[in-house]
Amino acid sequence: MKLSFRWYGESDPIKLEYIRQIPNMQSIVSAVYDVPVGEVWSHESISRLKEMVEEKGLLFDVVESVPVHEDIKLGLQTRDLYIENYKETIRRLGEFGVKCICYNFMPIFDWTRTQLDRKLSDGSTALVYYKDQLKKMDPLSGELALPGWDSSYKKEDLKLLFEQYAKINEEQLWENIEYFLKEIIPIAEESDVKMAIHPDDPPWNIFGLPRIITSAENLDRLLKLVDSPYNGLTFCTGSLGCSRLNNIYAMIDKYSARGRIHFMHVRNVKILDDGGFEESAHFSDSGSLDIVKILSILHANHFEGYLRPDHGRMIWGETGKPGYGLFDRALGASYITGIWETLGKMRRNI
């Protein structure tokens, strides 16, 4: 297991030297943010990011994420240009030593929450998804500004995208991702960069938009589209685990045993009676997921991929990007490291 930590580049208020002080921390998970979606990442930007990370004694070998242009997801005639750009970005990242790229295929919106700062019983604040709040949201209002929602879209751009996706059903989205994977995976193989798709978050349709990376059945289908070890998964416990329909323990066992999980996002969620959820501390007793069981499965299957503590609460008065404070994610990383060390000693009968 290679422990890693998400960092948003020079604009991130969290200093790399602080991340370096987290026990067992090895890699920084980051991306190039000065290039528009669909354009090729420049050598200069990649090199600068790598230098910043490595001069602090950390590795830059996993990227999250290289966004997929909407024209690719929609299957428009312009997609080939953007796919060629994507291939070149893969090649360049491989040249700089990147071994894993996380990406997603969610139409328009990335991970979606309805509130940034819900106060929990312990006084911390967390990201939540409340169904009653979602019902009151209008994605075309131009007023939404939550994590995962691309604020660069103008109201008229969103309207056009919704009109385009109204013509796309799930089967057509499957056709478009198959086309994309058959183009990029050979390049990933040549570049020795493993592609790791992130599941839809949450794993169900929102605002009438189709979502397909949602369940074991669909993950099986995705992996069979191009049956290559370079076509793999970012397994997010919170994304897939917030649905009671998913047996994430069986899923983690199956895909880690097959070597198809390249990146683990580990976080906990408290599932509510109506199917909504609140994000919680990483500890097993804090939410609905058994983090010890998850890590035990990975350890038993000799997981050697990347793992990072995912969204955390905002605690101890910390401010900044909701869900991405230093303190609670550092606690989560230490909790994960402690469990992993214990599992190793138990295996060796120490």
Instruction: Return the CATH number at 80.
Output: 3.20.20.150
Range of the domain at 227: 2-108+169-347
Residue among 69, 262, 265, 299 flagged as catalytic: 265
**Tokens 């056009």 sit on residue:** 160
* 310 counts as catalytic: yes
| Sequence-ordered list of residues with C-beta below 8 angstroms from that of 199, at least 6 positions apart, any chain | 104, 213, 214, 219, 233, 234, 235, 236, 239, 240
Decide if 161 is inside a domain.
no
* 282 counts as catalytic: no
Residue among 236, 242, 282, 328 flagged as catalytic: 236
pLDDT of residue 157: 83
Which residues does the chain have with pLDDT short of 70? 142-153, 350
Task: Give the model confidence (pLDDT) of 138-172 as tens digits.
Answer: 888 766 555 555 556 677 888 899 999 999 999 99
Decide if 155 is inside a domain.
no
Residue among 69, 262, 299, 311 flagged as catalytic: 311
Report the candidate in 194, 199, 337, 166 with the shortest Cα–Cα distance to residue 262.
194
The CA-based angle 37-41-43, given to 5 degrees, is 165
pLDDT of residue 78: 97
pLDDT of residue 151: 57
Q: In what order do the strands lie in the sheet with 115-119?
A: 115-119, 125-129, 277-280, 268-271
Q: What letter represents residue 24's amino acid? A: N
Residue among 69, 198, 262, 282 flagged as catalytic: 198
User: pTM for this one?
Assistant: 0.95
Spatial contact of 70 and 108, defined as CB atoms under 8 Å apart? yes
Spatial contact of 304 and 284, defined as CB atoms under 8 Å apart? no
Residue among 153, 230, 324, 335 flagged as catalytic: 324
Decide if 146 is inside a domain.
no
pLDDT of residue 150: 54
Decide if 164 is inside a domain.
no
* 265 counts as catalytic: yes
Decide if 62 is inside a domain.
yes
Decide if 239 is inside a domain.
yes
Decide if 200 is inside a domain.
yes
* 311 counts as catalytic: yes
Q: Strand pairing of 261-266 and 306-309?
A: parallel
Decide if 120 is inside a domain.
no
Number of structural domains (the chain) is 1
